[in-house]
Amino acid sequence: MAKEPLEFEEEPRIISVATMDVKEKVVKAEKRIRPHIRRTPLEFSPYLSKLCNSNIYLKLENEQLTGAFKIRGAMNKLLSLSEEEKERGIVTASSGNHGLAVAYSLKKLGIKGTIFLPENASRAKVEALSYYDAPVEFYGTDCVETEAYARKEAEERGMIFIPPYNDPEIIGGQGTIGFELLEELPEVDAVLVPVGGGGLISGIGGYLKEEKKKIRVFGCQPLASPVMYESVKAGRIIEMKSEETLSDGTAGGIEPGAITFDLCKKYVDDYFLLTEEEIKEAIYLILEKHHKVIEGASALPVAALLKERKRFKNQNITLIISGSNISIEKLKEIITS
């Protein structure tokens, strides 16, 4: 069971959605990070298209550097820092993929930093972090708890805290997925996106909706940790216990004052909540039909499509396949169960 989240000594800096131009942030990020990231494939799925009587495309961020979309936001944030800020070094917190992205970016840019992980972080992600030589420390069992502790450590050490989702430059970087998508599939009708803290869907949704208001944006969360969904429904960021889930990349709470909460209220049309069995079946399906390894968070849009396929009939639908970082042990369990 997770410990009670730490209290912030000061509220995190709150940025007004009214003063943030998501599209502008994405366009700037696209120019800034293009030399440092991969343009990931947009792959048509014959199987899912026939099954759903639609045109289904997979945006394969599982083939991105470090195995997930997070490199976009992390690289954009680090490149936006001043030389003085880079000299001070950075601290970040992550359930895994953001930490990997920051570690990769730190090494490439020659910046020092420390990465905090929850004690229950995926073994696959912890092992991958060791390849980049960034110091790793563990605290807590919930991402909000870990983030609060890391923020305090950054302040005490005089370093810059890099949040995993609650930052305009992080959101702008993640939104470059939407930029690529519209270039390749301008006639897209709807996008299904995994949701944890909301940085990914805020960037993608904000860019797409500002470019083409008719595009629908759907958030996908595990039933075991539907924090953003429940918060939006309640009209405020709520604290709730998360159960264990295959979608570890989206599990956990939302920090107080997160800008992503208001962005999700503004840009997300609806949410789908998926069971562990539905997530497991979606991982297996993509492995079987597309021969691609995906993690639990990536399976959420696939599971949502399968569950709601009548809703998406005769449309051009894109599923954001957010990452591939799943342990071999967990993959074996799914294949043999």
**Which residue ranges form the domains of the chain, and what is each CATH number?**
22-67+169-336 (3.40.50.1100), 70-165 (3.40.50.1100)
What is the per-residue pLDDT for 118?
86
Confidence band of 15 (pLDDT split at 50, 70, 90): low
What is the per-residue pLDDT for 253?
87
What is the per-residue pLDDT for 165?
95
pLDDT digits (tens, 9 = 90+) for 236-252: 999 998 899 999 999 98
Dihedral of alpha carbons 318, 209, 73, 9, sign = negative
What is the per-residue pLDDT for 10?
38
pLDDT digits (tens, 9 = 90+) for 263-272: 999 999 999 9
The CA distance from 197 to 247, in Å, is: 13
Dihedral of alpha carbons 13, 71, 331, 125, sign = negative
For every residue of 173-227, DSSP letters joined together read HHTHHHHHHHHH-TT--EEEEE-SSSHHHHHHHHHHHHH-TT-EEEEEEETT--H
